[in-house]
Structure 1
């Protein structure tokens, strides 16, 4: 069985562990050391047994809160799984009618008639009316 030397709160400890568990032991000791260092920062030098007890209790508290959070998250996961199952079992909603409006640009082209042509057309119209009156007058006297 391998021995691992760990440091917790500035004190070294030789700890035996199963072969292959050395890295886990070092990790756990580092966690305990962090709590012990926090205690030492608040209180100064305290007896070894008290330091280890308090650091262990602080870790247990942190672990308990983490376990509560894990339990809460597991319940949320189960609720979400149930919701997904319910949604998958629902019939697909009927498609909504969609009105498609297409905008069309219309370009209005106005032909511009030059004023001289407009005047010529007006003169022709006047002349045509005059001739129409003349013809009507002759037709009325010829009968």
Structure 2
């Protein structure tokens, strides 16, 4: 486990993280530091504990909003995929019906092999 020093609101803190996760931890610390500094600007110096609590609550609120938006996007994607599947089925059925009608028309015109392709222009019949 790697030991790292991160800085939040101008103060150093030693924290541990899994090997290979150092850059991720640094980025998370930057996000948290920005949030804590914003709270400090908005509310003044409340002490580290209260600043950290307010910063964590604001980040949790952002996370909650992001999860709600993600859920809405996932629901819309599922609806669109369902619509696409229904449209594909309807299109396939419409094409099948059109092919059957064309074959029936071709058979009625004296075609020896009542298939769609035998009635295609330029194709040999018989």
State whether TM-score is above 0.5.
yes
Q: Deviations over 1:90-132 (max 9, x none)?
A: 03477xxxxxxxxxxxxxxxxxxxxxxxxxxxxxxxxxxxxxx
What is the distance in 2 between the residues matched to 1:11 and 1:72? 39
Calculate the aligned-residue CA RMSD, in Å.
Answer: 1.4
Give the superposition deviation at 1:23.
Answer: 1.2
**Secondary structure of residue in 2 paired with 1:20:** coil
Q: SS at the partner of 1:79?
A: helix
Task: Give me the TM-score of the superposition, normalised by structure 2.
Answer: 0.70
In structure 1, list runs of 5 or more residues that go unmatched. 95-143
Equivalent pairs, count: 94
Aligned to 1:17: 17
The equivalent residue for 1:34 is: 34
Structure 1 runs (4+) deviating above 3 angstroms are: 91-94
Deviations 1:44-90 (CA, angstroms, capped at 9, x unpaired): 22211111111111110000100010011000000000000000000
Structure 2 segments unaligned to the other structure (5+ residues): 99-126
The structure with the larger Rg is 1
Q: Post-superposition shift, 1:12? A: 1.4
Tell me what 1:89 maps to.
89
Secondary structure of the structure 2 residue equivalent to 1:72: helix
Using the TM superposition, give the Cα deviation of residue 31 of structure 1 relative to its aligned residue in structure 2, in angstroms: 1.2
